[in-house]
A and B are shown apart, each in its own frame.
Chain A
């Protein structure tokens, strides 16, 4: 219980800091909109093919948006040695990591929930026909991306090549979660329910989230303190 309370204190701190500055979320939202615009030049936005590739398009936007949020997650603590203060504060590295992961999850989810209707308007796609299940898929996929991304954000925060290293490390790891989320989103945006054929992707998402959350929490101490 203490674990969750301490983690949520970090989440609250990060979110309050973000609400005051709005730097990361503004940059991430603008970047997502730019990518949505650029996609319209890559193919015919009015064609029926859009529905077929909608899952992939959306998750590419989410993945690019996540890299901006994740790279700022620990980097913002470097100013005035705040990271050292957080590590030496009476909370464990696992709590610090978990709190930051939840904050990143919330920020990324907000960006995604703004992008979804914009995507629907730009590409004439009725995306909300299976909204509750789609929201569940978005949440599962987003948690998978943020839990891996937050761990690597902590790992690369002090590196010279931080901006290059973070996406290089994160993207190969999140491919399984992207694969599952893309398959399910494509079906759900098409207005169909998740059939028995696609249950394996749900299981993959849940298994990925559980396994990598446990591993990331277990290694938080190794990454942040040593």
Chain B
């Protein structure tokens, strides 16, 4: 059942992505000031949204572990965090490519970029800590603490564009104060979000299956050691 769901999600994501890429490259005009490179926004912004969503959902599952003390919630939280970290890296890389063309540098120490980089470091620390702790319940508790503290940092990231107003472009999407794009240019951002979310869900399911197998191997190993 889970395999069918994963395959279904991947197929749907590929079809939606292919249709949307056609729209982005053939129907959306070049941006007046930036030219063709602005199209990277259609992958940069949905990846950022996917990673943000993932980090907050992971925090929810971590807190559910604290309440229910069921390790399955911890496995889900860890899987979501790993996939979200991959999307956060995509956001940073696409942003860097855009910066090279528009600003002339691969990296600028702007508040938003720096905060996002900090965010990636924090969640890399989260994964390192998980590897360093052997006892599953202790690992889950520590992960919960890091997940909640990490989300506080993400809030700083999210608001920093308004607080600091540095080199990073101001809000672009019309849902945020001060933002605004032509409707025909804005819609593909949201449409691209759908396949990326489907893809991340498929990856999370694959990662969860690996976690289940790992738990099974651990149980078998403990069983073998008991003889």
Cα A173 to Cα B149 in complex, Å, equals 8
State whether A215 touches B129 (Cβ < 8 A): no
Interface presence of A119 (CB below 8 A): no
Interface presence of A169 (CB below 8 A): yes
State whether A172 touches B148 (Cβ < 8 A): no
Specify which chain B residues have a CB less than 8 angstroms from the CB of A168 in the assembled complex. 125, 128
- Chain B CB within 10 Å, residue with most, of A155, A160, A211, A215: A155
Cα A47 to Cα B174 in complex, Å, equals 49
Instruction: State how many angstroms separate the Cβ of B90 from the closest Cβ of chain A.
Output: 20
Known: A168-B125, A212-B152, A226-B141. 6 other contacts (CB 8 A): A155-B142, A168-B128, A172-B122, A176-B156, A223-B141, A223-B145
Interface presence of A1 (CB below 8 A): no
Instruction: State how many angstroms separate the Cβ of B35 from the closest Cβ of chain A.
Output: 34
Specify which chain B residues have a CB less than 8 angstroms from the CB of A12 in the assembled complex. none
Tally of chain B residues near chain A (CB < 8 A) = 24
Instruction: State how many angstroms separate the Cβ of B111 from the closest Cβ of chain A.
Output: 9
Instruction: State how many angstroms separate the Cβ of B115 from the closest Cβ of chain A.
Output: 8
- Chain B CB within 10 Å, residue with most, of A156, A172, A175: A172
Interface presence of B153 (CB below 8 A): yes
B175-219: CB near A (< 8 Å → 1, else 0) gives 000000000000000000000000000000000000000000000
Cα A9 to Cα B163 in complex, Å, equals 41
Set B66, B149, B163, B164: member contacting A212, Cβ < 8 A: B149
Given the contacts A172-B122, A223-B141, A215 and B128 also touching, CB distance less than 8 Å: no
Cα A148 to Cα B122 in complex, Å, equals 13
State whether B156 touches A223 (Cβ < 8 A): no
Cα A205 to Cα B66 in complex, Å, equals 29
Interface presence of B94 (CB below 8 A): no
State whether A165 touches B132 (Cβ < 8 A): yes
Interface presence of A161 (CB below 8 A): yes
List B residues 112-163 near A (Cβ within 8 Å): 114, 118, 121-122, 125, 128-129, 132-133, 137-138, 141-142, 144-146, 148-149, 152-153, 156, 163
* Size category of the binding interface on chain A: 20 to 34
Instruction: State how many angstroms separate the Cβ of B110 from the closest Cβ of chain A.
Output: 13
Specify which chain B residues have a CB less than 8 angstroms from the CB of A176 in the assembled complex. 118, 153, 156
Cα A151 to Cα B141 in complex, Å, equals 13
Specify which chain B residues have a CB less than 8 angstroms from the CB of A212 in the assembled complex. 149, 152
Across the two chains, which residue of chain A brings its CB closest to B119? A172
State whether B141 touches A159 (Cβ < 8 A): no
Across the two chains, which residue of chain A brings its CB closest to B131? A161
Cα A211 to Cα B121 in complex, Å, equals 20
Specify which chain B residues have a CB less than 8 angstroms from the CB of A27 in the assembled complex. none
State whether A165 touches B141 (Cβ < 8 A): no
Interface presence of A64 (CB below 8 A): no
Specify which chain A residues have a CB less than 8 angstroms from the CB of B141 in the assembled complex. 222-223, 226
Interface presence of A200 (CB below 8 A): yes
State whether B122 touches A173 (Cβ < 8 A): yes
A/B interface sample: 7 pairs, CB < 8 A: A160-B132, A169-B125, A172-B118, A200-B164, A219-B144, A222-B66, A226-B141
